[in-house]
Structure 1
Amino acid sequence: MLPKRRIISMNVTKATYEQVVKDIMECAAIKESSYVCVANVHMLLETYYSRDFRQIVNNANIVTPDGMPIAKSFKMLYGVQQQRIDGMSLLPRLLAESTKAGTSVYFYGGSQKMLDITANFLKDKYPALRVAGMYSPPFRELNADEKLEIAKNINDSGANMVFVVLGCPKQETWMSQMKGKISAVMIGVGGALPVLVGLQERAPKWMQDNSLEWSFRLMQEPNRLFKRYFKTNSHFLFLLTREKLKKKFKF
């Protein structure tokens, strides 16, 4: 198992991009029931506020530092470098690796329209990829029988890898519930899929490299994201500074 470091309230995997890809592909090859959380500041604060959600994320096999602020926190708290391992880069890489390895993939979540667009995108960009199935679940809480039926359908499809597109915290909660029931590695990719298939635009690379991707998204959806970013980013900076002071003065 790859090592982790505690960033405020969340245990984040300390590894290179290549190590994470290798570990995920190895889990897929043996159909190990496991799950991967792709963590940004929003997810970290969800773990800070909710003990139940903190347990869900910290029990994940891998928690990647999706946002640059999470990756840079390793340097501030532990004096070590950590690559950003973001979902928008990880998703296409895993699709490419799965194509080469003959790994079967499944897509769970998102609207039927998005999945239809995804199916056409994959046929064009990854024609040799083995797609075991796609399913858009109802927009409501599923009962126990429905969850068991979904797990059975995914297992029967032969999928090695399940990309979960429900958004935080729903996808992490779902993966946690399905660990031990679905014989595949599950990865919560959230908003990475609509960007990959062209439904949303991604920030330019210079903004990604300078921790400004959030501002690009803010410009795209100011009404929805302004309050969330102002609250989460300022609170994260406060908590990170406090954590650094605690380590420095040992209190």
Structure 2
Amino acid sequence: MATSTSEYIHKVDKSKIPTCNILGVDIAAIDMEWLLDYLINNIHDLSGDYICVSNVHTTVTAYEDDEYRKVQNGGIMAIPDGGPLSSVGQKRGFKNMKRTTGPSLMGEIFKISVTKRYRHYFYGSTDETLEKLYDILTETYPGIQIAGMYSPPFRPMTEEEDKEIVERINETKPDFVWVGLGAPKQEKWMAAHQGCVNGLMIGVGAGFDYYAGNIERAPEWMQKSNLEWVYRLLQDPIRLFGRYWHTNTKFIWNAVVKGK
């Protein structure tokens, strides 16, 4: 099976990545420009590693779960997808720390993929969404190299099935392996396959649905005002209200008020 995060030796020096510890999670104190430059310069050495796209929900979950916190901290970095994370970081002295969302990162990478000859693999979601995603990406970014796509079953995979899909991914020689399983499942999957999957794994949650056209992103003014969560809540109130109430109140109390 896969190498655990405690055994994995990163091929790049993590100490060179500025971080702000929020509720025990080392959130990268970066902006999109820094992140893109870092990925472009280190993409080959990042093969086998993973990036967590972190928000209030994942950070509070990690605060309450030791094992998940190890997963969040075990990759090459955890980027601040949630606006409140970058806001807390700035208040703690990391003035250059800005929100770097998963969907925005995907878009920036897609834009340069043809000239950089990046190959992409998409792991997660449904066959229907992957088909839509393929059509839209190939139309929007002519010449983009989609190495492969796979929608895993909604049940635990056998060891043999898991080994087979890892071999299938590696045969396509991807640079980026986008993982859309939702948190915390996608982070746990990446950690379990660290050092086994060839390519940089990035857990992007709803990123597949955004680019497939299943759901719309909030207007840019809401994104810049850290209000995208409100837009998401209005789109899916039944599923998200309980989560937001639980995690947002805990985040405000522990990270903002108590300064953890």
Answer yes or no: same fold by TM over 0.5. yes
- Confirm whether residue 220 of structure 1 aligns to residue 235 of structure 2: yes
**Match in the other structure for 2:40:** 25
Q: TM-score, normalised by structure 2?
A: 0.89
Q: How many residues are treated as equivalent by the alignment?
A: 245
Structure 2 residue corresponding to 1:60, chosen from 75, 100, 109: 75
Alpha-carbon displacement from aligned partner over 1:7-38 (angstroms, at most 9, x marks no partner): 11211112231221122234434562110111
The question of whether the paired residues in 1 share the 8 Å contact of 2:29 and 2:86 is answered with: no
Q: Percent identity?
A: 34
Question: Within the alignment, does 1:112 sit opposite 2:99 as a pair?
Answer: no
Query: In structure 2, what is the Cα distance between the partners aligned to 1:12 and 1:27?
Result: 19
Tell whether the 8 Å contact from 2:29 to 2:96 is kept in structure 1 after alignment. Answer: no
Match of 1:175 among 190, 200, 203: 190
Call closer, same or farther: CA 1:233–1:44 in 2, change over 3 Å: same
Which residue number in structure 2 is paired with residue 193 of structure 1? 208
CA distance, structure 2, for counterparts of residue 38 and residue 208 of structure 1: 16
User: Among residues 248, 251, 256, which one is paired with 1:233 in the alignment?
Assistant: 248
Larger displacement relative to structure 2 (230-239 or 95-104): 95-104
Moved more, 13-22 or 52-61: 13-22
Runs of at least 5 residues in structure 2 that lack an aligned partner in the other structure: 1-13
1:13 alignment partner in structure 2: 28
CA RMSD of aligned residues (A): 1.5
**1:93-172 counterparts in 2 under 5 A?**
93-172=108-187
1:48 and 2:63 correspond: yes
What's the TM-score, normalizing by structure 1? 0.92
What amino acid does structure 2 have at the position aligned with 1:40?
N
AA of the residue aligned to 1:125: T
Secondary structure of the 1:187 match is strand
Distance 1:79 1:30, change over 3 A: closer
- Deviation sequence 1:32-83 (CA, Å, 0-9, x none): 2110111000000110111011001101102110011011011223363411
Gaps of 5+ in 1: 247-251
Letter in 2 for 1:85: T
